[in-house]
Amino acid sequence: MNGESRRLANRRRSAIGSDNTFLGISIGDRSVSMTAAHVDRPDHLLRIREHTVPFSVARGHTLSMGQIAGGLRQCWERFEGLEARRTALLLPSWCSTAEPVTGRMPIPAWWGDPEGTPAEVTTWDVLRLAGTVCREGVPPGRVVTGLACERYVHGGQYTVDDPVGAITTDLELHGHRFLADAGFVKGVLDLLDGMGIEVNALATPLSALQALLLEAEGKRNCILVEIGQRHATCGLFQMGRPVRMAEAPWGADDVLTGAAGRLRLDEENVTRCLASKRDRLMAPGVCGAQVLYFGDGRTLLSATVAEIDAALAASARPLAARLQAFLENVLRGCDEVPATVVVIGDCPVILRAVADAGTAATPHQPWVSREVPEVHRDHVDPAIMDRTRMAGALRLAALMPPLVQPCLEARGGGPPRPPIEDAVSQARNAARRAAGIWRSVRPRLRPVRDLAMRAVAWIGAVLRSARPSAAVPRPAAPGQDRDGVDLAGPMV
């Protein structure tokens, strides 16, 4: 073990059980996995422990509840005793969708003020509006797992990112809410409750997509395409806010199937080649003549790096064409379209092939492949798990908790409100009530005050008039009595 590996192992051991340890549970298209990670900032995620249980699932089929239960039990045996701060559950693509949503709520005026008087927006008002948007108009058999806000509008004309503190009469919310199959979510949550695991946050591939934006990408318009096992998620973001979000039923398996057919190999060998020979496949111009060997049963097959690169490029063209047509439909009606498309995922070789095919199809809008920083080379295995989506779910639970999650709140869970925000919101509401009471009572106190002042003045006047006058006699002059008679006068 070299120095870097030793330092990484020491950091993982020291991070186990800390306050920033988060547990992620992922149910994919053909695997169940758990990951414990240490999250302390948006661009850093240190994986402490992870385990995946793969299943053989034919295309067009999904995991059964029995397979999910068995996979969760096998994974939890490796994680039992782990103390995590929060637990996030990543739902599969086939049971989750996203839809644009808009909601409006009047802001209550101060007590005593007439209806329609502008008042200050508090955190509690924002939470009430988000809860109303998540609970109204939900289709039957679906449950809301989260809400992503694009913008807030107050007064019918002002658009803001954070409405707390604004003075207005009403508040509008524009964004996307994420839906999932209610029966599937309830079944998985019941399984986890039986195992003693409390879920604090729900995530879907679309909701986790926003958490995968880099800081530089969040400061400009960006199109982000995440390629999973059998599904791809697409999102148009403006200044880090989701404007359009959708999901396409194509993924890395389409590229693997096409490459295996062209190389006359099975997908398992192609996948193993992509994971183990990554360095040479990322530079086909340098290593094009090198021969890579594969074991296919009792037969030893071989292919050069250039042949594998050509097979991947040819297999990625249909996927890139489908994604391009899909993006054109998503971007229809947008005023400003980003200049580049960022492609992310688990396997960098497939990402490069898709990005090259997309750039060749649309030279005016180049496609750029990007690896998620925490995905390490020695752990990349696109056949069994979606590690990129798991990273997004962990970041979402740690750094971007959703406003409301009705399906968890009904079970006594859901995202907790920060204590400071809760205290500030309660203080503002208490001040609002006190000021309203004073404003409503003050006009009624003026006549009472005037009447009391008049009563005091009248009582004083009555007392002064009722008291007899006390005339003080004038002191006698020298040589005279009190009656003014001269004491030295003649005697009669």
Q: What is the pLDDT of residues 41-62, one digit of tens each?
A: 655 677 778 888 888 877 778 8
Q: Which residues pair with 144 in a beta bridge?
A: 179
Q: What is the pLDDT of residues 389-419, one digit of tens each?
A: 888 888 887 776 666 666 666 554 444 545 5
* Residue 254 to residue 319: CA distance in whole angstroms: 7
Residue 25's nearest CA partner among 234, 212, 188 is 188
Q: Residue 217 corresponds to which tokens in the numbers above?
A: 């990408």
Alpha helices in 331-418 (DSSP H): 348-361, 387-399, 406-409
**Domain extent listing, the chain:** 215-371
Q: In what order do the strands lie in the sheet with 21-27?
A: 44-54, 31-41, 21-27, 86-90, 201-203
* Residue 242 to residue 224: CA distance in whole angstroms: 10
* Residue 234 to residue 464: CA distance in whole angstroms: 90
DSSP-assigned states of every residue in 244-264 = EEEEES--HHHHHHHHHHHHT
Amino acid 70: pLDDT: 92
User: pLDDT under 70 in the chain at which residues?
Assistant: 1-19, 40-44, 110-114, 295-301, 335, 372-385, 400-426, 428-429, 432-433, 436, 439, 466-492
Q: Residue 32 corresponds to which tokens in the numbers above?
A: 């169940």
CA distances from 151 to 59, 163, 237, 304, 466 (A): 39, 9, 12, 51, 75
pTM of this structure: 0.73
Amino acid 39: pLDDT: 73
* Residue 290 to residue 307: CA distance in whole angstroms: 10
* Residue 281 to residue 217: CA distance in whole angstroms: 27
Q: Which residues pair with 238 in a beta bridge?
A: 241
Q: Residue 165 corresponds to which tokens in the numbers above?
A: 């503190």
Q: Are 345 and 228 in contact (CB under 8 A)?
A: yes
Q: At the topology level of CATH, where does 215-371 sit?
A: Nucleotidyltransferase; domain 5 (3.30.420)
What mean pLDDT is reported for the chain?
77
Q: Are 184 and 95 in contact (CB under 8 A)?
A: yes
Q: Residue 403 corresponds to which tokens in the numbers above?
A: 């406003």
